[in-house]
Amino acid sequence: MAVIAALLSLAVPTWGAITRSQANSAAVSLVMGTLEQARLAAVSGKKEVWVLFKNDDTRKQASLRIVTREGKGSTGSVPFTSMGSWTMLPRGITFQAGDNTMMDQRPLVEVIAAATGTAIAAPVPPNISVGGMMFQRSGRIGIPQQGGPSLLLRLQSPKGPLPAPIELSRGSGRASYNSTSPKP
Report residue 137's pLDDT band, with 50, 70 and 90 as the boundaries: very high
Q: What HEC string does 158-180 produce? A: CCCCCCCCEEECCCCCCEEECCC
Query: Regarding predicted confidence, which is higher, 121 or 19?
Result: 121
Give one word for 22, left, alpha or beta, with left for phi > 0 and alpha for psi -120 to 50. Answer: alpha
pLDDT at 2 over 50: yes
pLDDT at 166 over 50: yes
pLDDT at 86 over 90: yes
- ∠ CA 40-33-144, nearest 5°, is 65
Q: Whole-angstrom Cα distance, residue 48 to residue 13?
A: 46
pLDDT of residue 173: 92
Locate the DSSP E strands across 21-157.
49-56, 61-69, 80-88, 94-95, 128-135, 141-143, 152-153, 155-156
**For the whole model, what pTM was predicted?**
0.82
pLDDT of residue 183: 45
pLDDT of residue 75: 57
Query: Regarding predicted confidence, which is higher, 8 or 101?
Result: 101
pLDDT of residue 25: 87
The answer to whether the beta carbons of residues 161 and 172 sit under 8 Å apart is: no
pLDDT of residue 171: 87
Q: Whole-angstrom Cα distance, residue 94 to residue 129?
A: 10
SS3 label, residue 118: coil
Query: Regarding predicted confidence, which is higher, 181 or 128?
Result: 128
Residue partners of 146: CB distance under 8 A and separation at least 6: 170
Q: How far apart are the first and last CA of the chain?
A: 42
Instruction: Report pLDDT digits (tens) over 142-155.
Output: 998 887 778 999 99
Q: Which domains does the chain have, with CATH numbers?
A: 21-177 (3.55.40)
- Helix extents (H) in the chain: 2-45, 109-116
Report residue 4's pLDDT band, with 50, 70 and 90 as the boundaries: confident
Q: Which of 72-81, 128-137, 145-154, 171-180 has the highest mean pLDDT?
A: 128-137
pLDDT of residue 120: 77
Instruction: Report pLDDT digits (tens) over 41-60.
Output: 999 999 999 999 999 988 88
